[in-house]
């Protein structure tokens, strides 16, 4: 398995897609029930293959990720040749960016001395998909990039 198995909730959301996946392998619902009962290791392998296919499809479409913690904001843009990062660090531990109040404070105090903005770029490893997946594993979420573009204008 390259990525990680989907959660039970994710499998439930993708129920029809999983049925279609099994159908592409000529596995009927009755056969699937039999496989789960009689060959659980085969069923586990099918769940893993399906999970990897889903992750691969999702990850290949990612253009932007965000990772927001109480004192940090990491915004990622995936370009053809590298990953671009715009980061923000708060030196004031009384402000929590994960709350609406903290984010409102940031909007009003972007030029405050306690706000440190920075940017960087990183070349991809040999596996671009895994580069993205690792960021998701560390808490980043997929976005449309609105926040990245907003801060991009500020940092030039």
* Confidence (pLDDT) at 156: 72
> How confident is the model at residue 154, as a pLDDT?
83
Distance CA 129, CA 127 (A): 5
Confidence of residue 38 (pLDDT cuts 50, 70, 90): very high
pLDDT tens sequence across 8-34: 999 999 999 999 999 998 999 899 999
Global confidence as pTM? 0.85
Residue 98 CA to residue 102 CA, distance in Å, equals 7
| Residue bearing tokens 């972007």 | 110
All structural domains of the chain with their residue ranges: 8-61, 64-155
């Amino acid at each position: 398995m390259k990525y990680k198995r989907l959660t039970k909730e994710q499998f439930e959301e993708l129920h029809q897609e999983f049925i279609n996946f099994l159908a592409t392998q000529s596995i009927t619902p009755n056969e699937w029930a039999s496989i789960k009962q009689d060959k659980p290791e085969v069923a586990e392998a099918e769940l893993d293959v399906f999970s990897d296919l889903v992750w691969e499809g999702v990850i290949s479409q990612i253009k932007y990720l965000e990772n927001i913690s109480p004192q940090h904001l990491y915004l990622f843009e995936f370009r053809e040749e590298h990953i671009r990062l715009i980061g923000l660090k708060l030196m004031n531990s009384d402000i929590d960016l994960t709350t609406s109040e903290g984010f409102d404070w940031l909007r009003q105090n972007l030029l405050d001395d306690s706000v440190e903005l920075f940017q960087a770029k990183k070349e991809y490893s040999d596996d671009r998909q895994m580069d993205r997946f690792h960021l998701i594993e560390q808490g980043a979420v997929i976005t449309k990039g609105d926040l990245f573009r907003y801060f991009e204008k500020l940092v030039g």
